[in-house]
Amino acid sequence: MQQRLAAAGLRATHQRILILESLLVLPGHPTAEQVHRQVMANTPTVSLGTVYKTLDSFVEVGLTKRVASADAQCRRYDSDCSEHHHLYCTDTKEIIDYCNPQLDALIRDFFAKQGLENFQPHSFSLHIAGTRVS
Amino acid sequence: MQQRLAAAGLRATHQRILILESLLVLPGHPTAEQVHRQVMANTPTVSLGTVYKTLDSFVEVGLTKRVASADAQCRRYDSDCSEHHHLYCTDTKEIIDYCNPQLDALIRDFFAKQGLENFQPHSFSLHIAGTRVS
DNA sequence: ATGCTTGCAAACTCTTTGCACACCA
DNA sequence: TGGTGTGCAAAGAGTTTGCAAGCAT
């Protein structure tokens, strides 16, 4: 954990380690509030302000991402910085991560063949809206 | 304009007509604030609260969409309810609409062939992050 | 005339900021 | 030790809510 922070050029403080661990443990796309709660479960002396500042630093150095969310009125963070897609259930407002290398290949291929004008794509993320079926 | 509102099951009030017009005029993905400014340019007596309420109604009946945005700390709306994708410039934080029927077909095809487990997709939106080149 | 809409202002939520103290390198 | 990070509380931005008055049907 310390290593990851050091590698990212951040001081390995107690709080940052806790917050990074919490991010990795929490499923889905936690809000700052949820990260804070998770951190507090172990160490009840970390302030919410610090969580915000720390998450911002993490985003800045690429340790996490902010994820887009049309419904939420708050920011969500994602510790999984690998490329992946999202299933969005319009009933439950749930966001589920979805990985599919075949899909990735298909999309990359498409843009490799017929490029975009004036735009160099770096990463792709497909948002799939729909409903859960059981 | 009245027709569109009536068809959506909303009363055609002066304010709603103005707000709908403003949405159609404004480029990109305006915030509630931007819509309000646009409305005020014509009729300086519409309150921001009404803009919020109205935009919510519009989203509810499908006249507009909320668009996801990882950076913004405010909600953005999109009057273009047809299926389209987004180019996101990581330099300028700009979001550009992008349409490509071929791409749509490719994606629909992919999921038609090998469906998702426990999920019925309704719409797809590809977020393409990258940088502008000139 | 009835009931949905509006305007206003206050309340609320989420996030940021300023500053003194604490801690890592 | 020096400079960065933290906690706290207050401020800020964006959004929602409650209610009396207004308007579309």
DSSP secondary structure string, A64-85? SEEE--SS-SS-EEES--S--E
Q: How many CB atoms lie within 10 A of CB B54?
A: 24
Q: Which of A67-71, A116-120, B69-73 has the highest mean pLDDT?
A: A116-120
Which residues of A are less than 8 Å from B69 in CB distance?
68, 70
More confident residue, A79 or B26: B26
Question: B35-63, pLDDT tens digit by residue?
Answer: 999 999 999 999 999 999 999 999 999 99
Pinpoint the residues of chain B covered by CATH 3.30.1490.190.
82-134
Q: How far is Cα B3 from Cα A22, in angstroms, rounded to an integer? A: 51
Query: Which residues does B45 contact at the CB level (< 8 Å), separation at least 6?
Result: none
- Say whether A116 and B87 touch across the interface (CB within 8 A): yes
Contact B54, B16 (CB under 8 A): yes
CATH of domain A1-81: 1.10.10.10
Give the best residue of B31, B77, B86, B116 to mutate against chain A (max A CB count within 10 A).
B116
Contact B120, A130 (CB under 8 A): yes
Selection from B48, B47, B66 nearest residue B58 by Cα: B66
Query: Which residues does B83 contact at the CB level (< 8 Å), separation at least 6?
Result: B104, B123, B124, B125
Which residues of B are less than 8 Å from A89 in CB distance?
119
Query: What's the average model confidence in pLDDT over B97-118?
Result: 87
Question: A52-106, pLDDT tens digit by residue?
Answer: 999 999 999 999 988 877 777 788 998 876 778 888 887 777 778 888 898 999 9
Q: Does domain B82-134 have CATH number 3.40.50.2300?
A: no
Contact B15, B57 (CB under 8 A): no
Contact B94, A100 (CB under 8 A): no
pLDDT for residue B130 is more than 80? yes
Cα dihedral angle (B22, B23, B25, B28), rounded to 10 degrees?
A: 140
pLDDT classification of A129: cutoffs 50, 70, 90: confident
pLDDT for residue B81 is more than 70? no
Q: What per-residue confidence (pLDDT) applies to A81?
A: 66
Task: Give a three-class secondary structure readout of B7-34.
Answer: HCCCCCCHHHHHHHHHHHHCCCCCEHHH
Query: Which residues does B124 contact at the CB level (< 8 Å), separation at least 6?
Result: A126, A127, A128, A129, B83, B104, B107, B108, B111
- Say whether A126 and B120 touch across the interface (CB within 8 A): no
More confident residue, B44 or B68: B44
Q: Which of A1-5, B46-50, B80-84 has the highest mean pLDDT?
A: B46-50
Query: What's the average model confidence in pLDDT over B104-110?
Result: 91
**How many percent of chain B have pLDDT more than 70?**
99
pTM, two decimal places: 0.84
Pinpoint the residues of chain A covered by CATH 1.10.10.10.
1-81
